[in-house]
Structure 1
């Protein structure tokens, strides 16, 4: 799968509260970009790709009480589909690249917590939801997580590849780091999982943390980049660290789409 075009200017934005770098909460605006890809499975009109939804916003379904940003976006974007402004949610797959949690006050930077309700909100509207956990995401106890992974429309991946209507999607969650901390693995174990799923020849690989870009001032991992290089036809989706320019091409043709704090709607080009 290759991205053919990607708009530089968002079509819409939505206000939300997020933890500020120096404490407290700040108002931010969550953008939706539009792009095209060379191919999608028959019957699938679009892919909605997003990550790092670490904030809260008023939810109309809860009489204006705050909810996790991902829950609000799931309902809002589905409603726009019903109005004809976006593809119908029932004909759209969702890809989540992790870090979907915020405390209710949106004042604690890097807060960790349960994100199952965000996944469920998207699964309630959309054709399916596939993706990975970020390093701040939890899914209940180990038993609860296994039950969650069997819920209809949910494909939480970590070292696995699934085929969704002919689209091969692989995923590796978390980041490289000290394994005694949430959502982290030793470097070799993490790279080994990426290499393992790449042997399945996925068209779409979902990571939470992505590669670096030599010569560019972006945060990322050089070892992950080295594993991903030289794989023309592969689209990698990641988040974790924000890139001003969301789309990059690695040596050998691998495309990388960074969706940290943004959503990208991908439709079939032509």
Structure 2
């Protein structure tokens, strides 16, 4: 399966012969929009820019700031300026107000492919997404031992990894992009305070990813993390939170798969 690479080609250059399964798709990737109720068209111009530079948009969670219906409505209004397909997963902020079902309906009605363990195919590229969860990385990953509250936290982390696995098993294309909110590796959260690393992601996600031929992984959540890393199995991972500097100098990253 082809691996993601930094995008420098124009749209007309992004084909490899006439085989649609070998055509590269340019994806704009961003996370942590944090749309607020008081915002006025915060992302309209950026979404229009995405349409000029990419063939799909992937948003990796925290689309809203407090998970409120009005915030989702404002985001949906701005999405009218986006001329390419939009794929997204939710983040922890989208759950804050207990209106996640209403928020999800608004986003889906706006045309967003909102993933929670599913896969969607766009021009030969499969997008597979889950929110993910916390739990820590490597030897410091939290184990299911002790109080019920700890076991419940680990169970949630395992459940998200299982949803991701089910989504990856459904892929029928040779190319796949994984969308997460939480990080699958510690490398792309470097820059955040070490004390909060366990709350920024989980190695269980990387363990799942490395059992499948994944072209690239994108996540957000760590606003002060690093842009690029790799899973232990070698899959490229990109922290595309809008706060992270990108090679192109835009709030979003451009990836070709």
Could you tell me how far apart the structure 2 residues matched to 1:121 and 1:222 are? 35
Check conservation: 1:46, 1:87, Cα contact below 8 A: no
- Does the 8 Å contact 2:188/2:229 carry over to 1? no
Which residue in the other structure is 1:221 paired with? 202
**Separation in structure 2 between the aligned mates of residue 52 and residue 121 of structure 1, nearest angstrom:** 15
Q: Counterparts in 2 of 1:1-270, with a 5 A limit?
A: 1-5=2-6, 46-54=26-34, 67=39, 71-78=41-48, 81=49, 88=52, 92-102=55-65, 111-114=66-69, 115-116=71-72, 117-137=74-94, 144-145=102-103, 147-148=105-106, 150-151=108-109, 153-173=111-131, 175-176=133-134, 186-201=156-171, 203-213=176-186, 217=190, 219=197, 220-242=201-223, 244-260=225-241, 261-262=243-244, 263-266=251-254, 268=256
CA shift digits 1:96-145 (9 cap, x unpaired): 1111333xxxxxxxx44344232442244231111101111159857645
2:208 match: secondary structure: helix
Task: Flag the 1:172–1:244 CA change in 2: closer, same or farther, 3 A.
Answer: closer
Residues 44 and 229 of structure 1: CA distance in aligned 2, closer, same or farther (over 3 Å): closer
Aligned residue-pair number:
212
User: 2:23, 2:78 → 1: CA distance?
Assistant: 22
Structure 1: how far apart are the matches of 2:57 and 2:124?
15
Structure with greater strand share of residues: 1
Change (3 A) 1:210 1:119: farther
Question: Retained in 1: the 8 A contact 2:132–2:205?
Answer: no
Decide whether aligned partners of structure 1 residues 200 and 120 sit closer, same or farther in structure 2, where only a CA change above 3 A counts.
Answer: farther
How far apart are residue 233 of structure 1 and its match? Answer: 4.0
**Could you list the per-position Cα deviations for residues 134-167 of structure 1 after superposition, in whole angstroms to 9, with x for gaps in the alignment?**
1111598576456435425311111111112322
Alpha-carbon distance change, 176 to 92 in structure 1, aligned in 2, over 3 angstroms: same
- Provide the rounded CA distance (Å) in 2 between the counterparts of 1:264 and 1:120: 19
Q: Hey, what's the Cα distance between the residues in 2 that align with 1:259 and 1:169?
A: 16
Q: Name the structure where helix makes up a greater proportion of residues.
A: 2
In structure 1, C-alpha distance between the alignment counterparts of 2:108 and 2:67, rounded to whole Å: 23
Cα deviation, residue 44, structure 1: 8.4
Where in structure 1 are there 5+ consecutive unaligned residues?
A: 8-36, 57-64, 103-110
The verdict on how the C-alpha distance between 1:144 and 1:6 changes in structure 2, with shifts beyond 3 A counting, is: same
CA distance change for structure 1 residues 252 and 230 in 2, over 3 Å: closer, same or farther?
farther
CA contact (8 A) 1:119 1:129 kept: no
Check the 8 A contact 1:169/1:203 in 2, yes or no: yes
